[in-house]
Amino acid sequence: MRPGWYLLLASLLFTYAAPAQHTTLRFDHLVFFVADSSLEQALTQQLFHPAEKLATPHPGQGTEGHYVLFLNTSIEFLYLRDSASARRNEERFGSRYTQRWEPGANPIAFGLIAEPFDTTLAGFHTYHGPDQPEGERYLMAAGNTDPTQPLLYASMPHRAHKTMSSMEEVERADPAIREDLRHYLSHPSGIRRLTGLVLTVPDSTMGAGNVALLQDLEGVEVRKGDGHALTLEFDGAAQGREFRWSEGPELLIRY
């Protein structure tokens, strides 16, 4: 066999033998659509230190994010600051996200990481936010059009939360951010790491839309209940303590 044909055959064999890359979705962080600061204040007065310097307006989206950090995840409190800008952005966003601040809507979003990031992923569409750098994209779940279900979006892998194994690792962080990071992660409650997440939904939504996607997500447990609720467990609930919030979907924090 002549060398040229050999190289061509080897190339074809390699091409057909190579397995297709499969996109994996994994949980990264939580978002609460908040109409006022009551939830953020309740949590930051009793349990957490807010990451004040990370508060970020989102130009063109009409929103602003406030954050709480943990070793392996974060919580964002998302405020609607400019409803007109937000409504103008909804077609590009792919759903009427301003509904998320209205009574009866589900005010919880799950931020995911898609790896590898595939803009053709079934059940999602690509979104480029007005404030994002060129080349940056999100994947928005088609089920986001149902405001009674949690909103789901996936970020590019380099946008994943920078997980740290312990507070000792914080001391090896960049000196420019070390002091702030130490403060943001030294919560008065002693909470460090998210170790459990349970989403409770009505029986009618089990196996449908975004809830179906969450049921297949590692690290997220979905249960049937009378309504919508969220339970967050930190540090294996080692302290045996709880915090409850009942304004809107019930939030239970165990630590």
CATH assignment of the domain containing 70: 3.10.180.10
pLDDT value at residue 13: 39
Pairing label, strands 151-155, 108-115: parallel
Measure the CA angle with vertex 119, ends 221 and 150; round to 5°: 30
CA-CA distance, 154 to 32, in Å (whole number)? 16
For residue 64, tell me if it sits in a domain: yes
Give mean pLDDT, residues 166-192. Answer: 96
> How many domains does the chain fold into?
1
C-alpha dihedral, 74 to 77 to 108 to 138, nearest 10° = -70
Give mean pLDDT, residues 61-73. Answer: 98
The neighbour count for residue 208, using CB atoms within 10 Å, is 14
Please give the mean pLDDT across all residues of the chain.
Answer: 91
Report which residue type is found at 5. W
Taking alpha carbons only, the member of 158, 157, 154, 148 closest to residue 127 is: 154
- Range with lowest mean pLDDT among 24-28, 132-136, 141-145: 132-136
CA-CA distance, 106 to 70, in Å (whole number)? 24
For residue 108, tell me if it sits in a domain: yes
DSSP 18: S
Q: 125: which residues sit within 8 A by CB, 6+ positions away?
A: 94, 139, 140, 142
Burial of 23 (0-12, 13-18, 19+ CB in 10 A): middle
**3-class DSSP state for residue 133?**
coil
Length of the chain: 255
pLDDT digits 0-9 by tens, 197-230? 999 999 888 888 999 999 999 999 999 998 899 9
Q: Is the pLDDT of residue 16 over 80?
A: no
For residue 150, tell me if it sits in a domain: yes
Query: Quick one: what percent of the chain has pLDDT higher than 70?
Result: 92
For residue 98, tell me if it sits in a domain: yes
* N-terminal to C-terminal alpha carbon distance within the chain: 69
List the structure tokens of 139.
Answer: 């994947």
DSSP 169: H
Q: Is the pLDDT of residue 4 over 80?
A: no
Give mean pLDDT, residues 174-186. Answer: 96
For residue 212, tell me if it sits in a domain: no
Taking alpha carbons only, the member of 102, 72, 55 closest to residue 232 is: 72
For residue 79, tell me if it sits in a domain: yes
Domain span including residue 63: 24-163
For residue 255, tell me if it sits in a domain: no
Give mean pLDDT, residues 85-102. Answer: 97
178: β partners: none
Give mean pLDDT, residues 220-249. Answer: 95
Please give the biggest Cα pair distance in the chain.
Answer: 77
Q: Is the pLDDT of residue 14 over 70?
A: no
